Amino acid sequence: MGLNEKPLSTLHEKASYDLGDFDVPTGREEAWRFTPLSRLKGLHNGKAEPVGHVRVDVDAAPEVTVETVGRDDARVGKSFMPTDRVSAQAWNTFEKATVITVPREAVTSKPTVLTLTGEGDGATYGHIVVKVEPMAEAVLVLDHKGSAVYADNIEFVVGDGANLKVVSLQDWDDDAVHVSHHHAQLAKDATFRSFVVTLGGDLVRLSPSVTYTAPGGDADMSGVYFVDAGQHLEHRLLVDHSQPNCKSNVDYRGALQGEAAHAVWIGDVIIRVEAEGTDTYELNRNLILTDGARADSVPNLEILTGEVAGAGHASASGRLDDEHIFYLQARGIPYDEARRLVVRGFLGQLVEKIQIEEIRERVMNALEAELSR
């Protein structure tokens, strides 16, 4: 627990499509020091042969096109470069990518749901591109479940004036390992809303990032996670403000319970010299419900221009408030239920931000299931 400010230069110093440019992590690197490498099942050192399967089922809105393409498709890999070893490994190993296109000015009539089901038969590398063309609006749900050793890159390319809302659920089986990079690239006046829910899996390391190609972009990235005994759930956020007058807001909240439940949250916001008028805030809060659970939370903010509209960050990790529990118990509510009410409230306040009712309910139900375990 605690707040630690490291120079950013050690975190995002390298970007390359070439696997050889990244050394195998040893655990001493700033970017890997919280991650138990031995539980990555070889995703980080080239030993995880791509012999497994993660089935991709798509229930698409009628306005949307869905294609499965090969590595040579021109739309793949245009919006990002891998910035760590596992991302580069996934980029170099995947065989088929899923490309979802929301045509110009289309407003989708229902969410597009991608269900990714791990079949528990070995390592798998994936790639998804979601391209929202100018002035289009879409909602995407990524639903990860089953058993898998899975590394992937997902590109969210949001065009001029377009609006993309993404909900990504990591609801894996207990033995799953998932290392994922979400790369959002926002064009002029684009709006991006990301909501991450991580509940299941032995180890999940999810790195959502946002870059801007023009002014006026607006990114909001929220996340909730519930860490049970033995789980390692890690979220690493990066917002790179390189254009003027863009906004970003990051709010991640987690609850932890049980022996060796480990949450890691790293937030980085870079405001480059040219990014005048940036308005950004990042926040992480953890609620530690039992002894033996641990939360590492490190917000970083690097401001290279004096002309910002707003820039702040905060991190708070603490235990359940005795006064909250006392108040509820004093009204007859038993301890376990009082605790559930408080935790549900703590996470639910964020879930309220999901504007689509069926998805919001789905997320709340998943959290309820965690709480009643």
Partner 1 sequence: MSTLEIRDLQVAVEDKEILRGVNLTVKAGQTHAIMGPNGSGKSTLAYAIAGHPKYTITGGQVLLDGVDLLELSVDERARAGLFLAMQYPVEVPGVSVSNFLRSAVTAVRGEAPKLREFAKDLKAGMDALSIDPAFAQRNLNEGFSGGEKKRHEILQMELLKPKIAVLDETDSGLDVDALRVVSEGINRFRASGETGVLLITHYTRILRYVKPDFVHVFAAGRIVEEGGPELAEKLEAEGYEQYTKASA
Residues that bind partner 1 (CB under 8 A): 321-324, 326-335, 337-338, 341-342, 344-349
CB atoms inside a 10 Å sphere around CB 77: 18
| CA angle, 225 then 230 then 233, to 5° | 30
Which CB, 294 or 340, lies closer to partner 1?
340
Instruction: Provide, rounded to whole angstroms, the least separation between the CB of residue 316 and partner 1.
Output: 12
12/83 Cα distance (integer angstroms): 7
Which CB, 213 or 281, lies closer to partner 1?
281
290/259 Cα distance (integer angstroms): 8
Locate the DSSP E strands across 28-111. 54-59, 65-69, 97-102
Which CB, 28 or 331, lies closer to partner 1?
331
Instruction: Provide, rounded to whole angstroms, the least separation between the CB of residue 24 and partner 1.
Output: 43
Which CB, 260 or 316, lies closer to partner 1?
316
Instruction: Provide, rounded to whole angstroms, the least separation between the CB of residue 210 and partner 1.
Output: 27
Tell me if 223 sits within 8 A of 196, measured CB to CB.
Answer: yes
Which CB, 76 or 224, lies closer to partner 1?
224
Instruction: Provide, rounded to whole angstroms, the least separation between the CB of residue 248 and partner 1.
Output: 23
Instruction: Provide, rounded to whole angstroms, the least separation between the CB of residue 325 and partner 1.
Output: 8
Which pair of tokens denotes residue 130? Answer: 């979601």
Parallel, antiparallel, or unpaired: how do β-strands 218-227 and 191-200 relate?
Answer: parallel
372/106 Cα distance (integer angstroms): 41
* Closest of 316, 257, 307 to residue 285, by C-alpha: 316
* Closest of 251, 206, 252, 267 to residue 232, by C-alpha: 206
Which CB, 74 or 330, lies closer to partner 1?
330
Instruction: Provide, rounded to whole angstroms, the least separation between the CB of residue 255 and partner 1.
Output: 12
